Amino acid sequence: MAKGDERADRQRANASAADESVLDDLYSVEYLAEVAGGDARAERLEELKRRIALGAYNPAADAIAADMLARVGLGSEED
């Protein structure tokens, strides 16, 4: 495995752990279990469609681009 791949894997693992920590602080275990089951994906998709239609969906372009570059190993820690 190349060094860039190993670094990207570590970054993803660290980001995933940080995301889980934030979710644990914001939501109860019961709520997360309920949302993870059933029609949660379909409900999230419908909500996203509604927000797009209203013009209320404003993704952070810089964060998305940085994440995409990190996934393919093109980003650097100095950027």
pLDDT tens, residue by residue, 34-79: 777 767 778 888 999 999 999 998 889 998 898 889 888 876 555 4
Q: Is residue 31 part of a domain?
A: yes
Q: Which residue has the higher pLDDT, 12 or 50?
A: 50
Query: Tokens representing 49?
Result: 């469609």
3-26 vs 61-72: helix crossing angle, rounded to 10: 140
Number of domains in the chain: 1
Query: Tokens representing 48?
Result: 């996203």
Q: Is residue 27 part of a domain?
A: yes
Predicted TM-score (pTM) of this structure: 0.36
Q: Is residue 78 part of a domain?
A: no
Q: Is residue 65 part of a domain?
A: yes
Q: Is residue 60 part of a domain?
A: yes
The boundaries of the domain holding residue 53 are: 3-72
pLDDT at 37: 72
